[in-house]
Amino acid sequence: MAFCVSTYRFVSAATTSLELLGISKRFGEVVALDAANLQLRRGTVHALLGENGAGKTTLMRIAYGLLKPDAGAVHIDARPIRFHSPADAIQRGIGMVQQHFSLVPAMTAVENFALGNRGRFDPRKESERLLEQAATLQLSIAPDMPAHSMSAPEQQQLEIAKALGRDCRILILDEPTAVLSPMHSAALLQWIRSYADQGRSVVLITHKLRDAAAVADDVTVLRHGRTVLQGRISDIAEAELLAAMLGAPLAQSELTVPRPHRPTSTPPLGSLQSVSAEEWARRERIADVSLEINAAEILGVAGLERSGHRLLLRVLAGRHVPTKGIVRIPPRIAFIPEDRQREALATQLDLRENVALRGAGNRTGWSRWRYWSSLTRALLKDFDVHAVNERVPAHTLSGGNQQRLVLARELADAPMLIVAENPTRGLDARATANLLARLRAARDDGAAIVFYSSDLDELVALADRIVLAYAGRVREAERSRDAIGRALVGTT
Amino acid sequence: MMQHLSAMPGRAATSVRMYAVAIGGVLLVGVGLLYLAGHDVGQSISALWRGAFGSYDALVSSTLVRAIPLMLLGVAVSVAFRVGAFNVGGDGQFLAGAAAGAWLALLDFPIPAPLRILIALIAGAAAGALWGFIPAVLRRRWGVFEVLSTLMMNFIAAYGVSYLVRGPLQEPTRIYPQSATIANATHLPLLLPGTRLHSGFLIAVACAIGAWIWLSFRESGFRARLTGANPVAAARAGLIETERVTFRVFLASAALCGLAGAVEVLGVTFALYENLSPGYGFTAIAVALLAWLHPLGVIVSAILMAALDAGASAMQREAGVPSVTVWVIQGLLVLAVLATRSFAERNPRFRFARL
């Protein structure tokens, strides 16, 4: 199996459940898809790989009827189909869980679950159906919890349950493990496998090669909107996949992890002393936490959902006022939250205004828009953010570009403390390597970094020291993936 | 919907052509309505035009004079919506300002007239702010939804004026439910002699320009826009005290409404009476939405709405077309503008076309 020409079919039409042929899509002057192909076989898991902006999500949105292709054909069970809306796709047995969830915040889990169904809404019956779906998925969903107070993994679990509740044969998952803890990811991947083994098909959009390798039968790699590689994943070497995704092999230094850095013995840059805090809306709290953060050190934070890590990061970043205790933190703090659209960007405003957002609470007088424009242009270039110019609204950027914009803004003024929460979420391999290199460089320049990642490998590789949050308590942990993994689920 | 409104960007986000098509379409629908209702379309339209722009007098004494309160209130609504405070209490704040302005203008006190006018205007703004203070505090302290509280405050203001014009502020003969007439010296000076256009027009235009400068070029205005666009990000990423920003802008918006009331009393009616506002506070919401919450756009949309109002009266007089027809058109205009906006949001082709 080598590189394929884009019109090549590696399976016969008889065994495909979904086939996308020569799909092209343009957004204005941006070519998102250029004659892309994908053949999904019945009873298989199909990994759709590619860098940010490669067109993975766009292709699947076309399959789900959210977008109409400019050219190309969609076949289901070897028959050409035209979708006018997702309703048509759902009727044909296609379900999709998007990367940005589409739940109604004010509605409870069960109401969201039943949304879009026909007929009378019977809460008790729907709750039972929801719990049934959750049980097969081994997920914990509280039917009466409003969506707005759910964590990202909980929302995603609900989305999956919702898609399955419609009895779909073809399930499309867009970066499903991006927000999940390792334990939940493993459970989800295992479930995806068993779901496909029942004769249904799954498209897994991802940029995590490990996830793809663990569960997928087939793989399609997109780059710049073209299908550059497709075939059985067992036939393809990992290096070949990487090369197809990135266009060129990554430099060795980007993949290997340097040895942990030894901090010099200077007084701590900041500290928490017996700090307690709580956030009722999210049912999260931390109690009696004491912690020191040092200059030139990366402090890794590990924790599962609702273990308190989220609150810990916000207290350290000066974004949450604790109920008790003493917080000492430096003045210039960069804060990179996990949910960039909610906590870091005003997506209707333009890029320049989003850059000026940082520190807006402390400025007075006239706005220096000329300065912000030139700063934004420099940041876009420096951080490789793809945008037409600095005056476009932030919602026109892809997820990865939004993330890079936030990073660029927060790191622009050489912060003394960087608090980053899953900063590589939604970034591809190259952008991740780039980000981690930047964090290391900031550390070597003397900044303190507090870094949370739901990917334990990433955490162990990057952090100089690790603390773990468990049920609102925070303690030091060994720098070992297994030890942390066990501690997180409470089985030390 | 509410979040969607406050996030409306100031500069024209959709191509001007689409906007023009939408407005043109609505006017065509209006013509269709006239035809269906059995009116002489040509005669009706020409009456509408004559009443609004047809003569110097119609334009200046009718349309522009009507545009003044709509402009001030429209700017107030735009500013409040942009920060995410849905002040629909423009009418109540307008009446509070009108009452305070009339009261001070009528006070028997030996002050030179220009100073008296100034004091009356300031008092009007202060009374409007006071009327907005109550819902603003309710929102800040207890999270009371301002759409409800400001709406309720409108009724209190309306009945408060009823009380004043039958009690403490009633004219000396005690026959009519209205205040005494304000002395000529205390009227807002006329802008063009021989017309009814008073200097309130300049105040309104200045307020619109001032609001635009503030929103676009001042850090505090930028904070207000950020707070409206995404309060969570404004607080977390911008370290903005969003509740305080909202509170202040809310008061400023209410003060503008109060100022509009005082300007109307000192410039047009010269007395306080019941039903002083024919729903200006609500028309102003339409004015603001039509202008996409852009203060400079409000200058145009206020004149357009006022022209439709002025033309409607003429159409009723001359062609026998009920002025309700024009209200239908006004409503359709707002719907068309909002729909244009949503269409542009949803349709990627147009989203990119507008970059």
pLDDT computed for residue A247 by the predictor: 66
Residue in A348, A357, A367 closest to B238 by CB: A357
pLDDT computed for residue A13 by the predictor: 52
Site from A320, A348, A371 to mutate, B interface, most B CB atoms within 10 angstroms: A348
Average pLDDT of the segment spanning A48-54: 78
B344 touches chain A (CB under 8 A): no
Assess whether pLDDT exceeds 50 at residue A2. no
Q: What Rg value do the Cα atoms of chain A yield, rounded?
A: 23
Assess whether pLDDT exceeds 90 at residue A400. no
B237 touches chain A (CB under 8 A): yes
Lowest mean pLDDT, pick from A337-351, A474-488, B112-126: A474-488
Q: How many A/B residue pairs have CB atoms within 8 Å?
A: 100
pLDDT computed for residue B337 by the predictor: 81
Kindly indicate the confidence band of residue B9, based on its pLDDT and cuts at 50, 70 and 90: very low
Assess whether pLDDT exceeds 80 at residue A31. no
Contacts of A337 in chain B (CB under 8 A): 236-237
The DSSP secondary structure of A33-87, one letter per residue, reads EEEEEEEEETT-EEEEEE-TTSSHHHHHHHHTTSS--SEEEEEETTEEE--SSHH
Pairwise CA distance, residues B203 & A215, whole Å: 69
Closest CA in chain A for residue B11:
A349
Percent of residues, chain A, with pLDDT higher than 70: 88
Provide the mean pLDDT of chain B: 88
Pairwise CA distance, residues A179 & A151, whole Å: 9
Contacts of B10 in chain A (CB under 8 A): none
Classified as helix, coil or strand, A141 is coil
Assess whether pLDDT exceeds 50 at residue A124. yes
Pairwise CA distance, residues A239 & A229, whole Å: 13
Kindly indicate the confidence band of residue B345, based on its pLDDT and cuts at 50, 70 and 90: low
B1 touches chain A (CB under 8 A): no
Residue length of chain B: 355
Residue in A67, A345, A360 closest to B222 by CB: A360
B321 close to B34: Cβ distance less than 8 angstroms: yes
pLDDT computed for residue A29 by the predictor: 58
Average pLDDT of the segment spanning A7-20: 66
Kindly indicate the confidence band of residue A491, based on its pLDDT and cuts at 50, 70 and 90: low
DSSP 3-state percent helix, strand, coil across chain A (nearest 5): 35, 25, 35
Contacts of B348 in chain A (CB under 8 A): 27-28, 67
A357 touches chain B (CB under 8 A): yes
Assess whether pLDDT exceeds 50 at residue B355. no
**B230 to A345: CB separation less than 8 angstroms, yes or no:** yes
* pLDDT tens digits, one per residue of B233-250: 999 999 999 999 999 999
Element housing A175 (H / E): none
* pLDDT tens digits, one per residue of A190-246: 888 988 888 889 999 987 777 888 899 999 999 888 899 898 988 888 778 877 876
Residue in B238, B349, B355 closest to A360 by CB: B238
**A349 to B348: CB separation less than 8 angstroms, yes or no:** no
pLDDT computed for residue A147 by the predictor: 87
Classified as helix, coil or strand, B86 is coil
A363 touches chain B (CB under 8 A): yes
pLDDT computed for residue A339 by the predictor: 85
Closest CA in chain A for residue B352:
A28
* pLDDT tens digits, one per residue of A296-349: 899 999 887 667 888 999 999 999 999 999 999 998 899 999 888 889 999 889
Assess whether pLDDT exceeds 60 at residue B3. no
Nearest residue to B10 (alpha-carbon basis) of B221, B251, B247: B221
Pairwise CA distance, residues A396 & A388, whole Å: 10
**A361 to B229: CB separation less than 8 angstroms, yes or no:** no
A469 close to A283: Cβ distance less than 8 angstroms: no
Lowest mean pLDDT, pick from A20-24, A83-87, A134-138, A172-176: A134-138
Phi, psi of A450 (to 5 degrees): -110, 120
Contacts of B349 in chain A (CB under 8 A): 27-28
* Distance (Å) of CA B80 to CA A152, A369, B5, B149, B228: 32, 23, 11, 15, 9
Kindly indicate the confidence band of residue B194, based on its pLDDT and cuts at 50, 70 and 90: confident
A30 contact partners, CB below 8 Å, separation of at least 6 = B352
Contacts of A392 in chain B (CB under 8 A): 355
A33 close to A23: Cβ distance less than 8 angstroms: yes
Assess whether pLDDT exceeds 50 at residue A95. yes
Classified as helix, coil or strand, A174 is strand
**B239 to A362: CB separation less than 8 angstroms, yes or no:** yes
**A348 to B7: CB separation less than 8 angstroms, yes or no:** yes
B234 touches chain A (CB under 8 A): yes
Residue length of chain A: 492
Closest CA in chain A for residue B223:
A360
Closest CA in chain B for residue A349:
B9
Residue in B233, B241, B351 closest to A345 by CB: B233
Site from A29, A336, A367, A371 to mutate, B interface, most B CB atoms within 10 angstroms: A367
Pairwise CA distance, residues A6 & A9, whole Å: 9
Would you tell me which residues 52-81 of chain A have a C-beta closer than 8 angstroms to some C-beta of chain B?
67
By the 10 Å C-beta count (0-12 exposed, 13-18 middle, 19+ buried), A101 is classed as middle
Contacts of A369 in chain B (CB under 8 A): 217
Pairwise CA distance, residues B101 & B272, whole Å: 9
**A357 to B353: CB separation less than 8 angstroms, yes or no:** no
DSSP strand pairing (A448-452 vs A417-421): parallel
B342 touches chain A (CB under 8 A): no
**B219 to A357: CB separation less than 8 angstroms, yes or no:** no
Assess whether pLDDT exceeds 60 at residue B119. yes
A359 touches chain B (CB under 8 A): yes
Kindly indicate the confidence band of residue A371, based on its pLDDT and cuts at 50, 70 and 90: very high
The type of residue at B50 is R
Closest CA in chain A for residue B239:
A361
Pairwise CA distance, residues A281 & A268, whole Å: 32
**B239 to A366: CB separation less than 8 angstroms, yes or no:** no
pLDDT computed for residue A178 by the predictor: 67
Site from B83, B226, B342 to mutate, A interface, most A CB atoms within 10 angstroms: B226
Percent of residues, chain B, with pLDDT higher than 70: 92
Nearest residue to A75 (alpha-carbon basis) of A123, A22, A115: A22
Assess whether pLDDT exceeds 60 at residue A136. yes
Average pLDDT of the segment spanning B281-287: 92
pLDDT computed for residue B157 by the predictor: 96
Average pLDDT of the segment spanning A252-281: 68
Number of separate helices (H) and strands (E) present in chain B: 16, 0
Kindly indicate the confidence band of residue B150, based on its pLDDT and cuts at 50, 70 and 90: very high
Assess whether pLDDT exceeds 50 at residue A255. no
Residue B58, CA atoms < 13 Å, CB-side half-sphere: 18
The type of residue at A95 is G
* pLDDT tens digits, one per residue of A414-437: 899 999 998 887 677 788 888 888
* pLDDT tens digits, one per residue of A271-296: 999 999 988 766 678 889 999 999 88
Site from B239, B294, B354 to mutate, A interface, most A CB atoms within 10 angstroms: B239
Highest mean predicted confidence (pLDDT) among A393-397, A409-413, B327-331: A409-413
pLDDT computed for residue B2 by the predictor: 44
* pLDDT tens digits, one per residue of B45-73: 899 899 898 888 888 989 999 999 999 99
pLDDT computed for residue A256 by the predictor: 43
Nearest residue to B152 (alpha-carbon basis) of B134, B165, B137, B140: B134
Would you tell me which residues 207-226 of chain B have a C-beta closer than 8 angstroms to some C-beta of chain A?
216-223, 225-226
Classified as helix, coil or strand, A200 is coil
pLDDT computed for residue B226 by the predictor: 95
**B222 to A67: CB separation less than 8 angstroms, yes or no:** no
